[in-house]
Structure formats: C-alpha cells, structure tokens
Structure 1
Amino acid sequence: MLLSLWQREYFQQLLCILVFSLVSVSQWATSRGAETKSPNVILLLTDDQGYGDVGFHGNAKIRTPHMDQLAREGMELTRFYCSPVCAPTRASVMTGRYYYRSGVIHTSRGGAKMHGAETTLAELLQANGYATGIFGKWHLGDNYPMRPQDQGFMESLVHKSGGIGQTPDKPNSYFDPWLWKNGKREQGKGYCTDLFFDAALEFMDRQSAEGKPFFVYLPTNAPHTPLEIADAYWKPYLKQGLNETTARVYGMVENLDENLGRLMAHLEQKKLQKNTILIFLGDNGPQQKRYTAGLKGRKSWVYEGGIRVPFVASWPGHIPEGTQSAQIAAHIDLLPTLLAMTGTPKPKSLKLDGIDLSGLLTGKVKTLPARSLFFQVHRGLTPQRYQNCAVVTQRYKLVGYPGTFGEENLMRDAEPVLELYDLAADPGETKNLISDKPEIAGKLRQEYQQWYSDVKQSRHFQPGMIVIDSRKENPTTLCRYQDGSFAQGNSQGWMVQVETPGLYQIQIQRGTGQKPGKLSVNWQGEETHEFLQADESTARFELKSGSGLLDIWFQEEGADRVYPGDNSTRGDVILKRLD
C-alpha cells in the first residue's frame, strides 16, 4: 500500500522520536550504571613506616609530596592503630578479626601461619564479582592452604617469608628480586617496589578493559630491612645530616611516595579516580629510632609509637576532602568497612571484631560507639596474659609488661606490671596514672581478661597447619626458621597434614662442611633413616596420611643431633611426591 506524503512524514517523525527515546534510555542506563558500578579498591599497606614517616605529620626532613597530597584530598584518621609487628597486622587486615583467632601468633618460627579456613577480604570481594590481586608482601604462610592464591587472590606477585632476603627467601635482593608470580618463581628486572606497582597498574588496566571492578592489595616490603635503595634516593638525606640508617629509610619512603604519585596519576589518566577507593596506611611503628611526631616507642612496643600508624582514605565525591577524625579505629575495621562501601554481603556465620567505618569516612557520622581496642604480641608459640599488651579507648590506655616482645617464658609477678595513660591529656605517654586511677585501670584490666579468654577460645593459639597435598603443591618446601615448630629456641619439626600419602623424595639443606651421616624422618610415631655420603642430601621415604609433627633432620656420623635455631636455610627441607 502506498503511503501519502503526510503519512510518510508522520512515520518518519515517529521513528525519530522512537530512536531518540531509545538513545536517551540507553544514555540514562549508562549513566546509572556508572553511578551504581561497584567501586574499585586499592589498599596500600607499607612495612615499618611509622606515624612520623610522612610529611603531613610534621616531619620536615622527609619528602612525601604525594602522601601529603592524598591527605589533603581525602580523610585522615589520626588515631588509627595496628599491631606492633607485621604478620599480626596483616592477618587482622585480611580477616577483620583479632589475629590470635586466625592462627597467627607472631612473625616467624612457626608463628606466622594463618589457617586456610579463615575467610579473607579477597575471598569476599571475589565472590562479589571483583578481580583480586596482591602485589608485595603476604607473610601469612608460604605453603598450601595459606598462600595468597589459596586465600582469594586471582593474581599474585609476592615474595616469601617476612621480607626479601629473609629465610627461606635467600639469597635475594631488593634489586632484580626473585619473586613468586601466581605460584611460580621468576626474576624481576628493577627495584622491588617499582615492580610491585608496575604489576598492580597492569592488573588494573586489564580488569578495567574487561569492565570488571578490581581489588588491588599493595602490601609493600619497603621500608623494612634490609635497607636497600639506590644512592640517588638516600644520599641527599645523608647530606642533610641524618645518619645512614634514617637516610636509607627515608629514601625508601621517597621511592614509595613516587610510586604512589604514579598510581594516583594513572587513576586520573584512565578516568578511574572517581570510582576508586584508595587507602594508605602503615603496618606498625618504625623499626629504628627516628622521628615519631612525639609518640613514645617504636616497632614491637605497644606504646603509641609502635601501634599508631598513618592512615588516609580517598574516594572523590564520597569521602570529603581535607578532613580528619580523631576517633579510634584499627586494622580489624578495614574488612567490614570495605564490605559496606562495595556493597559486598557479609556471611551470617562470619564473626568479626571490627566495625564499619564507612559512615565516619563519608562524613555521615562524627562519633563512633564507645569501645576498647586490644593489642598484644610477643615471641613464642604460647601467648601469656598481659605480656606486651595494650587496651586502648578513646581517652585511656592500659599497657602490660611493655618492651617484652622478644621474651619467651616471661616470669610472672604476683600482680602484672601495668601502666595507665590519659591519651587525651598525655599522647606521649609520659605520666603513668596506674596508682592515681585504680577504678579505670581495674575496668580496662577486666576487659582485657575477657578479651584474652575470648580470642584464646577461637583456636587455642594453634598456628595454621601446612597441608602436604601434591595435587595442590608439589614439591613442598618446609622452611625451618619461618614455619617450623620451635621450643626453647630450637626447631622441632613442622606441624603438617599429609593429604596425599606415598613415596616422597626428601632433600635437606645440610649447610657447610658436610660429612657422612643419616637423614632421619620421624612421622606418626615411627622413625626411619637413610645413610648419606658427604656429597648427598636426598633420600626417599614413605609418608602415610595423617596429621601431627613431622620431624626431619640430618645427623653427622658419630655426632649428636644438632637443633639449629638460627635464621638460616640449614635444615630446610623439600618434599617431592614421586608416585
């Protein structure tokens, strides 16, 4: 049928209106999608960068222009707390729980192994559609099921143990380091911090191109020892009159700051800035003595200088610029906060110690509910009440046996050694009020007792167990110093579960000056051995399934057994299943 001119014009107008409507709806949907799209998350956690190691806390010597800029553009929590050493902080960041619940006890000698059954921030975000990547220091277990790839990270570029060059990650260097990429060892080309940021930026670009929100965990190993950094970074600080140690630390922080600046510029260039939550914090106080902005103590101490760290959060349009809050907050709060800010559901069965800070960060609330925060850590696999502990409230702080981090089997007095401080009036902790305010001290002491009993009940201070499963990890490296079970300072073997029984090739690091002897294995109550010549280090043994203490050692012919306790690779073992 032929249409008249007016009919053709009518239908053309109708078609134009329809197309315009569809375009408008599409544009509205796109804009709504941009508004409701899950925000990206970047969590930058630096190692041993204390409260005073930034320019925005009054340090006139250090150069941190990008950290200072982030503080101006976001919100700073001026009383943010972490544990006094690194692995405990990392466990709390990942789980939203006090680290004693997770199986982590301290930083080495079997104390830094988080149970694989723990639910991590990465696992929760991944279940909510996030691409998850870690680039840097993990320090919560180097074996299955405790590795990053076992705990929710789709992509990983990490070093082993607590630091590059530490057992079992030796020999190694911050320059051209050997790293583990998605479980495989490879050598990088460049400085470690630069490499971690390079990998993070590449990961972000890849996920953004696919339209997928990302969670980037950037736990750097800088400025932790060894203090390796290019001369161009640290020698200018030496010329300012600083000692070499401080100069090197500040040089490492300056390199970190440059990388942060590179990250911030990249977000802006890729138009990701407005939809990205960026959080920067330290993991504990400074290891060495230097500027602390007037805070007492440093790493391993539970005084403010050991547990109070820089913290800044930025999310343009959501977190108000240039704001501060003096409300107490801690590492345990990061997981519930990020779940809330990303719209990620929390499983009903998941019990957290931290609280949601999103209202505080976005300016919707000014005051948090009154609460107490608890901190404690010391050497040895058996925590003891009050040793190197602290209870922090908005005003007061109770400290127990300060400065005893490195002690094991601490002798107890009839009454614990306690100190009390009014942080509102005395942030430098100069005046002990334990005798002046017995009621407050007694209340905080009672809270500590309840907390200690509670966290003990979670796992009874049992570290995570290495699972020997050749389907997941083969070979398995057992590091004596980092992951072995220690008693009285000596390695006793490893707590393991053998999931895949069979014939294993066992190789042991014998050290120098080798002589003939026997390689012995004690497993499930049975001791067997094979004789080795001076140039041999490997033998075959049958391992049956089960769990318990796996003890493997080499004993020279005619000599007593040696129980090494040093931080070396001597006694490390590689297990490879053969059948």
Structure 2
Amino acid sequence: MPKLLSFILGAVLTAPVLVAAPSSTKPNIIFIMTDDVGYETVSYNKALNFKTPNIDRLSTESTVFTQADATPLCCPTRTRVVSGQYTYRNYIGWDGKIKKTAPFIAEKLKSAGYATAAMGKWHLGDKKSPARMGFDEHCLFWLQGMSQSDMMKFAYRNAPYLHNGKIVRAPYGPDLANEQARAFIKKNKDRPFFLYYTPWLCHNPFEPTPDSKDQNCTDWQTNFEDMVAYTDKLVGKIVKELKDQGIYENTVIVYTGDNGTKTCAHIMEDGTVIYGGKGTQTIDGCHVPLLVKTDGTHRTLDNLIDFADFYATFADLAGVPAKDIDPTIDGVSFAPLLRGETKTLRSHLFSFFRGGAFVRNQHYKYYIDQRIYDLVADPRENQPFYPESDTPETAKARKALHAEMTEIIQGERFKNAVHRKELLKTFERYQKPAQSRILGSRDFDGITAAAKSVSWDLDMTPYLTDKNSTYRLRFSRSYRTKNSHLIYSNARIKKVRVLCDGKEVFSRQPTTATLTTRPKAKVINPMVDFIYDESKARVGLKGLNIPEGTKTITLKIDADLTNPGNQWGDRIRLYTFLEKMD
C-alpha cells in the first residue's frame, strides 16, 4: 500500500493543515541541490538558452519561491543546509569544518524514524563524516587529497566516489550518484526516507556530457548548457523512480542550487543578459531557483527563504515538535507556506561571507560598510546609497536593516558565534566617519574592437562636503573572458572631468594620466589609482573651484574600452571610488 501524504485538505474555507502522523504516513523528503546554477538557469524562469523540461514540469506541481538566497560558494551553503545555522555562527573553514552545537538534519530525521542517504557532492568533512552527520548510506564525489589538476581531470569521467566508505571509480560520476539515489528510493519505499541528493553538475570544468552531440567540444557556453540539460534529465529519473514505486504523491521534493552560476551568458525572455556571479554577494552570486513539491498544488511566492530554513522545515514536515528543535537553530520553518497559509515568516535574510555581511529584505539590501541598494530599481547593485546620499525611503530601510544587523552581530543570541569577534571588529570600524565611498559601478555590454570608449556620469554632490580636503578617485575595471570567470585589469581612462551644475571645473587629459593596478592582499578586487605619469603623485581634488550654491557635482569618465580580438568578452564593468585623503 502506498503511504498517505501527511498533508490533508480541510473543508471549504478551512486552511489546509499539516498533522503529526505515525511513521508509516510521514512524507518522504528529497532535497536536490545542483552545483553552480543560479536563478536564471531553469527555463521556467524564462531563460532562453536553457532547456529543463523535467524541472519545469515539476514546478507546475510545486510552490515556486522567487526570493531564495544561498551563500556565494558551495561549502558555506551546504553547511547552512545540514546544520540549520548561519555560517557566521558555525562555519570554521573549507571542506566542512563546522562547530557543532545541535544535531545535524539527517540525525534529527533519523531520530524521527527516517532512513537517510547522501548522494552526489559532499564537501562536508572526512570519510567518516557522512555517518557522523547521520547518513545511513552515501555515494559522494570525493575531492579530498586530489590536486587541482586531478580534480579537473577526473571531475566527471573516471571520477572517484566514496561509496559507503570505499573509493570506487565511476565512468561518469553523476550517473553513479543518480543510480545509487534511485536504488535507495526503491529499497526504502515502505518507510519514510530523507535523501540528500546534490549532484556535482554543473560545476566546472565545463565539458561534454554523455548526451552532448560533440564529445570533443571545448566551448564553455555550449558545454554548460548541455550540463544543465543533463542535470534536468537526472532529476527526471528521480521523479520517474518515485512514480514507479508508487510513492510520488507522498514525497516532498525540493529543487535548488548552491550558489550563483560561475560564468557564461544567460539570455532571458525579456532580452536581459545575466552573467554568472559565483563568489560575489550580489544577486548573481546568491539568488537561486527554489521549488518545493508537496501535494501537487502550484503557487508562486515571493517570501524570503534562507538556506538555514530547510532544517526547520524538514523537521516540521517530519512531525518533529518545535520544542525539540535546538535553540541555536537559526532557520525558520516555511512549512506553513507549503500548506497554503499566507504569512510573513521572515522579515530579513542575513548573509556572512569572507569577512563581509549583509542584511536584506524584499526591497533593500544593506551591507556592513553602510552601503544600501534598492533591489527593485537596481537589482544588479550598481548605485549604492550612503547616509549622506539617502532618500527618505532608503533612510527608513537603512534604520530597520541596521538594527537587524546590530542584533545579529552584537546580540546575546550569537555571543558564541565562531566569527563574532571578527565581524564585530569590522562592524565597529564602519560606524566611524567613512573615508571611502563607492560612487557606483556600471556594466558595458556588446564591447567590440570598434567600441573605443564610453562616457559615464556620476553625481558626487553628497560626498564632496569638505572644500579644503584632498579627495582621490579610484577606478577598477573587470571583464569576463570566454572561458573564465571574472578577471580584473588595468583600464585606460581617457579623460576625467568634474562639472558643477554642468560647467567644467576640473579636467585631466589622456596625455597626463593613466591607471595602474594596486592589488590588496587577500582581496579579489584590486583597486586602481588615478595618478600623474610624470610625478607619480595621486590626483587630488583639492582646490576645486566649486561655486557657492552648486546643486550638482558631476564626475564624467571617458574610458577607453578598446577590445581587440574580443579578448575581454563582450561585457566590461567599471567601478568608481572616491576617497577622502585627509
């Protein structure tokens, strides 16, 4: 007899309810998290160059969430899923070093009567860690001890997998993990189970799949699209196995990604081109697809979902009483939303990554360095607001989000967080009067050899507040090559001009100025100083003749974006900084 779904519908005008049930009627839970696939890589999100028919079909029977945020890299995201905690609290280091204060999710579900398995990618510890974290079975791509070159060589074909404690070689790794996942489903069809299924696809290296037409293809864009299609095929096999075993209706299926896409161009139905942002805290680094299939009802929700929330949600679905959830769990159960309830469960999301942090709600995003962005008007985060440039709306949002961040960083609840001292020091530093402001950033698309330069206007009015101070302009240029992710380079600024209410008061010609790169230690983004060629002195804005009553101070940048042979790809981003020097 197939197990009954633990969601039951009430009468007309009565909200559906989730009831605690004996183990024989508890829903199975399958968590599918693919690698390096951002929000834009599934065709149900109106991406034109990706075909995901199985995932699309699943979405029609699911609750689709449009505002789910992962961390920008895989390990921290996986840590949040299995622990239910912010990485600020427990993430010690790469490859699953976690400060444990509560049972992991597999342990919690195992104690509730679930069979448990982990298949696919791991990155959460040594060979004993799957069992230690509560998994009965595992078949995991095994990176430990491999050099970077070997990882690239054996990432997919002849790939090493840790299969229940023993290393085996797989002709094509994702196929082995999928086969073992389906075998686990079949074996446990008569009892509740939790399957943590996290394929290595679509992580680089971007190479042909068994279904690719050209097995010798080296084009990353083509191969990445094929890898997404193959991932969709594997998801379809999981769904088919559930239906073959007669347990599809009683299974909760989650599909998501662990962080933003690494690279390549993703063309959306409305003409927008999205480039991968893996490793960055921007929308392209954190925003991922999320659908949850429960009773077959389709709905689309814009509620905020944190990856720490999966823990509390799965425990809720399994009938674990809320009182049995450890108080150090940061996640919030969104099971009420899956039942059709309409409520706000989270007012904000918090993210800690590489010493930085942000808090966001559905409209605004506030960084620890006091930048705030209007995500509705500026989703790519090109135009920051600071206290001196706030609108009434951003000022109100700043106050609320700053209070949330203060509570997390300084509050009693996180007094034992692994990164508390580090983040508290950063937080306190940014409470002092700022010496540097990001004026903004801008993407320039379709750059060719014929596109010699672009002009960019920025309003500096809120920032040049001290007439007797010296200010320094800094620029950074980044671009994407065909087969790599973000690259930073020297940029030639042809002319920099400052205008007061449209009248030029400062100008530097290309014969007297250039840019040089000054990388910061352990920082991805090198800063670029604008300097004099002859004296090597920094360009200062001291002595600018800014007339009294000036309403608008505009910085005009003429940048040389010469692109011979398309060596920089077709997108270049410029960043502009203004620093007060005294």
Same fold (TM over 0.5): yes
In the other structure, the counterpart of 2:55 is 67
Q: 1:451 to 1:234 in 2, by over 3 A?
A: farther
Choose which of 232, 242, 258 in structure 1 pairs with 2:233: 258
Tell me the distance in 2 between the aligned counterparts of 1:164 and 1:270.
38
How far does the alpha carbon of each residue in 1:84-113 deviate from its partner, in whole angstroms, 9 at most, with x for none?
Answer: 1111110111111102222344x46xxx41
Helix, strand or coil at the partner of 1:68: helix
- Check the 8 A contact 1:164/1:172 in 2, yes or no: no
Gaps in structure 2 of 5+ consecutive residues: 9-18, 421-520, 523-582
Helix, strand or coil at the partner of 1:354: coil
1:193 paired with 2:174, answer: yes
Tell me the distance in 2 between the aligned counterparts of 1:458 and 1:49.
33
Helix, strand or coil at the partner of 1:353: coil
Map 1:114-153 onto structure 2 (within 5 A): 114-115=98-99, 118-142=102-126, 144=128, 147-153=129-135
In the other structure, the counterpart of 1:498 is none
TM-score, normalised with respect to structure 2: 0.62
Structure 1 residue 46 displacement after superposition: 0.6
Helix, strand or coil at the partner of 1:176: strand
Tell me the distance in 1 between the aligned counterparts of 2:85 and 2:216.
39
Q: 1:447 to 1:117 in 2, by over 3 A?
A: closer
- Check the 8 A contact 2:118/2:196 in 1, yes or no: yes
- Check the 8 A contact 1:337/1:357 in 2, yes or no: yes
Map 1:104-503 onto structure 2 (within 5 A): 104-105=92-93, 107=94, 112-115=96-99, 118-142=102-126, 144=128, 147-161=129-143, 166=148, 172-188=154-170, 190-208=171-189, 211-230=190-209, 232-233=211-212, 235=214, 244-291=219-266, 298-317=277-296, 320-321=297-298, 323-346=299-322, 347-363=324-340, 365-378=341-354, 383=355, 387=356, 389-400=357-368, 416=369, 418-434=370-386, 435-436=389-390, 437-454=394-411, 457-461=415-419
How far does the alpha carbon of each residue in 1:11-65 deviate from its partner, in whole angstroms, 9 at most, with x for none?
Answer: xxxxxxxxxxxxxxxx9xxx99999611111100011011111111111111111
Helix, strand or coil at the partner of 1:458: coil
Number of residues of Structure 1 aligned to a counterpart in Structure 2: 394
- Check the 8 A contact 2:209/2:215 in 1, yes or no: no
Structure 1 residue 162 displacement after superposition: 8.1
- Check the 8 A contact 1:67/1:257 in 2, yes or no: yes
In the other structure, the counterpart of 2:543 is none
- Check the 8 A contact 1:296/1:303 in 2, yes or no: no
- Check the 8 A contact 2:280/2:286 in 1, yes or no: yes
- Check the 8 A contact 2:54/2:232 in 1, yes or no: yes
Helix, strand or coil at the partner of 2:260: coil
Helix, strand or coil at the partner of 1:274: coil
Tell me the distance in 2 between the aligned counterparts of 1:284 and 1:328.
16
- Check the 8 A contact 1:50/1:286 in 2, yes or no: yes
Structure 1 residue 245 displacement after superposition: 1.2
Q: Which has the higher strand share?
A: 2
Helix, strand or coil at the partner of 2:117: strand
Choose which of 28, 39, 49 in structure 1 pairs with 2:27: 39
In the other structure, the counterpart of 2:84 is 96
Tell me the distance in 1 between the aligned counterparts of 2:352 and 2:100.
22
Which amino acid letter does the alignment assign opposite residue 398 of structure 2?
Answer: A
TM-score, normalised with respect to structure 1: 0.62
How far does the alpha carbon of each residue in 1:186-214 deviate from its partner, in whole angstroms, 9 at most, with x for none?
Answer: 222x3111111100000111112xx2211
Gaps in structure 1 of 5+ consecutive residues: 1-26, 401-415, 463-487, 490-579
Tell me the distance in 2 between the aligned counterparts of 1:344 and 1:290.
43
In the other structure, the counterpart of 2:454 is none
Q: 1:269 to 1:369 in 2, by over 3 A?
A: closer
Which amino acid letter does the alignment assign opposite residue 41 of structure 1?
Answer: I
- Check the 8 A contact 1:83/1:284 in 2, yes or no: yes
RMSD of aligned residue pairs (Cα, Å): 3.1
How far does the alpha carbon of each residue in 1:362-418 deviate from its partner, in whole angstroms, 9 at most, with x for none?
Answer: 21x22314522111212xxxx3xxx2x221112211135xxxxxxxxxxxxxxx3x4
Q: Which has the higher helix share?
A: 1
Structure 1 residue 250 displacement after superposition: 1.3
Helix, strand or coil at the partner of 1:202: helix
Tell me the distance in 2 between the aligned counterparts of 1:297 and 1:333.
25
Helix, strand or coil at the partner of 1:199: helix
- Check the 8 A contact 1:237/1:247 in 2, yes or no: no
Which amino acid letter does the alignment assign opposite residue 398 of structure 1?
Answer: Y
Tell me the distance in 2 between the aligned counterparts of 1:35 and 1:231.
40
- Check the 8 A contact 1:136/1:159 in 2, yes or no: yes
Tell me the distance in 1 between the aligned counterparts of 2:205 and 2:285.
19
Helix, strand or coil at the partner of 2:300: strand
